Amino acid sequence: MLWCALVLPDLALQVFTRGRSDAGPLAILGPRPQLRVVAADPAAVACGVEPGISRASALALAPQLHLRERAPALESAALAEIATWAGRFTSSISLDPPDTLLLEIQASLRLFGGLAPLCASIGESLGELGFAGQLAVAPTPLAARWLARCSPGSLIDAEAGLAAALAPLPITVVADGCGGAVTTENLDLLAGIGIHCLADVQRLPRSGLARRHARAVTTQLDRAYAIVPDPRPWFVPPERYVAHLPLPAPTDQVDTLVFGVRRLLAGLSGWLDARQAGLERFTLVLEYERHRQGSEIREEPREIVLGALSRDMTRCQMLAREHLTRGPLPAPVAALRLEPAAPRLRTPPPPDLFARDD
């Protein structure tokens, strides 16, 4: 097997930035009551806003700063949306929360012209979806995840090169993807005896690590180095596609809304490609800003008819723009939702009756 790990370290930020075309400063706040910055975009960082500072300090540094509270539910939904989109590359996909996607790509190499072209296509298409990630390939899912985290761009397609690729990674990486099994105490123990990278820990006697209650470390290494199996649950894409995009700030600007629609259509395109299917219509739902009085967000569904079975996303975007420019919006739009009709399999045109097989 050959695994491609796609790590999105800025997922908490990107679930909000993917829906905007401007570069205004934006920062994400952690849970209440502290409300400290956990992520900031480049424009905010340029103003001095960094993870760890308080909400008040962030606003003092950048009064124009947009602040959003972290939304774990949106992050989980985004990871599932990316997994659904990734079905255009392989049907063997596994979610590895909170920010990683694992794709088993061995069977896809010939279809996409080899490993490098496939990885380039994944990275380029991910950008169309509105996300940016770090990618690496390895024979085991955990090794691919570690390499994507610490050495993005690594393409290890055989077990023979796995040990050399993992050797320089910092020892702290063993805590990544372990579900909390490797503790801070385990890492402090290793640091205390001069262990700084995976090559160092591989030279230690396993019996000594076991006596020091660091068996979880060796278990992680065995999974990464393909010494023991590391089975993963497969992601099952939804039969009915629904995509939701919260906007960074409510807006009635058509260009901003069309930018968000393009992000949603990129995900829909991947879902359709995986099924070799097309659509005849879809519904774009506008979720309007909540009124100050606290009333519920109003929704306005707009059905868009393509006129023929298609998966041409450029045409879908053009028709969406036409619908959005037919008249003024009753209120600023806070979020967009895409609900396509049931897809139908696209069949190739019948061969020419008089074609000759020369």
CA-derived radius of gyration, the chain: 24
- Return the H-helix or E-strand segment holding 222: helix 215-224
Query: Pick from 4, 6, 5, 224: which is nearest to 114 by CA?
Result: 4
Tell me how far apart the alpha carbons of residues 80 and 162 are, in angstroms, rounded to a whole number: 29
Q: Are strands 243-251 and 333-340 parallel, antiparallel or unpaired?
A: antiparallel
Is 235:95 a contact under the CB 8 Å cutoff?
A: yes
Tell me how far apart the alpha carbons of residues 119 and 103 are, in angstroms, rounded to a whole number: 11
Tell me how far apart the alpha carbons of residues 12 and 39 are, in angstroms, rounded to a whole number: 7
Which residue's structure tokens are 């997922």?
A: 11
**What's the confidence (pLDDT) of residue 212?**
61
- E strand residue ranges, the chain: 3-7, 26-29, 37-40, 66-69, 93-96, 100-104, 134-138, 243-251, 277-288, 299-310, 333-340, 344-345
**What's the confidence (pLDDT) of residue 353?**
44
Which residue's structure tokens are 């629609």?
A: 261
> Which residues are bridge partners to 345 per DSSP?
277
Longest dimension (CA), the chain: 80
> Can you read off the two tokens belonging to residue 283?
């519904």
Query: Pick from 258, 300, 253, 309: which is nearest to 281 by CA?
Result: 309
Write out the DSSP string of 136-152: EEESSHHHHHHHHHHST
Is 151:141 a contact under the CB 8 Å cutoff?
A: no
pTM summary value: 0.87
pLDDT tens-place values along the chain, 358 residues long? 999 999 999 999 999 989 877 767 999 999 988 899 999 999 999 999 999 999 999 999 999 998 999 999 999 999 999 999 999 999 999 999 999 999 999 999 999 999 999 999 999 999 999 999 999 999 999 999 999 999 999 999 999 999 999 999 999 999 999 888 888 888 888 888 888 999 998 888 777 666 666 788 888 999 999 999 999 999 998 889 999 998 878 899 999 999 999 999 999 999 999 989 999 999 999 999 876 444 456 899 999 999 899 989 999 999 999 999 998 898 899 999 999 988 888 665 445 544 444 4
**What's the confidence (pLDDT) of residue 208?**
65
Q: Is 322 exposed, middle or buried (0-12, 13-18, 19+ CB in 10 A)?
A: exposed
- How many other CB atoms sit within 10 Å of the CB of residue 100? 24
Query: Pick from 279, 174, 150, 274: which is nearest to 223 by CA?
Result: 174
Is 100:7 a contact under the CB 8 Å cutoff?
A: yes
Tell me how far apart the alpha carbons of residues 334 and 247 are, in angstroms, rounded to a whole number: 6
Q: Is 320 exposed, middle or buried (0-12, 13-18, 19+ CB in 10 A)?
A: buried
